[in-house]
Amino acid sequence: MFLRPFCAVLGGLSLLLGAQLAQAAEVNLYTTREPALVKPLLDRFTEQTGTVVNTVFVQGGLAERLAAEGARSPADVAMVVDVGNLMELVDRNLSQPVESAALSAAVPAGLRAPDGRWFALSTRARAIYASRERISEADAARLTYEDLADPRFKGRVCIRSGQHPYNTALFSFLLVKHGESWLRDYLTALKGNLARRASGGDREVARDILAGLCDVGVANTYYVGLMLSGRGGDEQRRWGQAIRTVLPASGTMVNLSGAVVARHAPNRAEAVKLLEFLVSPEAQQLYAEANFEYPVRPDAALHPIVAGFGTLAVGDVPLPEIAAQRVRASRIVDEVGFDQ
């Protein structure tokens, strides 16, 4: 008679302890990436580990939010797009160093901080789009970013805003390569070659090439995958079919998506496990297949569409240097009135 209530109490304590343990198996992710793009990865992580990922989508001002929350922040991992956004987290002391053999083995040295304060998870190339109808394959293959300012492309170039982070990063890359005076002259000449005001998005560059408004432009590679795969519908598939995707052999500028373990992460161990999963062979394959991005793991296979772009010869400007020059590049964009 005595054992029955005792067992009931013991069972209740076990259930309570189990619930507490289950509750502890969680990780809080702040991300600027569209939730639909990362959900398959996070769902798979939960399936494998049992750790629940609580995702907070932050459209803008992620660093400001972390700084305002301070030591009370629930964030364990911050995931962002663009090297400048990633470096801002580090520069504002919003990340912490991580030592992980799995991360060091999977992520090449140039795509992670030596002290483990940031890690790239995928990369995307800033490519040149060229008209299949009006630019030959041989001529397209020789194109460089520098060529787009050449007088032969007068009135033939389309590009989104010069102040968009994708272009600010590209102009920072060129600033490091050639210097401030050169970049000012380049942007002035490039503006003079525009077929329309610098505006819209990357996919609209392909749209306007199909329409005959322009012959060349600058845009990210993964948009081509989204268009050619049909995910944007038949109309966007036609946009993608109208262009050649050129990776400048002289050195292609790549940007990244990346992550840090937040400085005050309450679930640090789970945060490290999440980063380790995101660079695992399975997750890297999901990046390639779902988002048409370049995996950071050298042994991960590319999506066939991305592989069809040819060999990616990455420019020799380190990503932190690109991030460090963004403010100067942005200032020059305004000085020449590039978006006006």
What are the tokens at 85? 């956004």
Biggest CA-to-CA distance, the chain = 96
Q: Are 21-123+257-299 and 124-253+310-335 in the same CATH fold?
A: yes
pTM above 0.75, yes or no: yes
Distance from the first to the final alpha carbon of the chain: 86
Q: Where are the domains of the chain?
A: 21-123+257-299, 124-253+310-335
Q: How far apart are CA 53 and CA 20, in angstroms?
A: 16
Q: What is the pLDDT along the chain (340 residues), one digit of tens a residue?
A: 444 544 444 454 444 444 444 455 899 999 998 888 889 899 999 999 999 999 999 988 999 999 999 999 999 999 999 999 999 999 999 999 999 999 999 999 999 999 999 999 999 999 999 999 999 999 999 999 999 999 999 999 999 999 999 999 999 999 999 999 999 999 999 999 999 999 999 999 999 999 999 999 999 999 999 999 999 999 999 999 999 999 999 999 999 999 999 999 999 999 999 999 999 999 999 889 888 999 999 999 999 999 999 999 999 999 999 999 999 999 999 999 999 9
* Arch. (CATH architecture) of 124-253+310-335: 3-Layer(aba) Sandwich (3.40)
Give the pLDDT confidence score for residue 60 in this predicted structure. Answer: 85
Q: Tens digit of pLDDT for each residue in 62-109?
A: 999 999 999 999 999 999 999 999 999 999 999 999 999 999 999 999
Q: How many CA atoms lie within 13 A of 86 on its CB side?
A: 30
Give the pLDDT confidence score for residue 114 in this predicted structure. Answer: 95
Q: How far apart are CA 266 and CA 284, in angstroms?
A: 26
Give the pLDDT confidence score for residue 4 in this predicted structure. Answer: 52
Give the pLDDT confidence score for residue 5 in this predicted structure. Answer: 47
Which residues are registered as beta bridge partners of 31?
57, 79
Counting every residue, how long is the chain? Answer: 340
Q: Tens digit of pLDDT for each residue in 292-307?
A: 999 999 999 999 999 9
Annotated binding residue at 30? no
SS (H, E, C) 259-292: EEEECCCCCHHHHHHHHHHHCCHHHHHHHHHHHC
Annotated binding residue at 222? yes
Q: DSSP class of residue 249?
A: T
CATH number for domain 21-123+257-299, candidates 3.40.640.10, 2.10.260.10, 3.40.190.10, 2.40.110.10: 3.40.190.10
Give the pLDDT confidence score for residue 37 in this predicted structure. Answer: 80
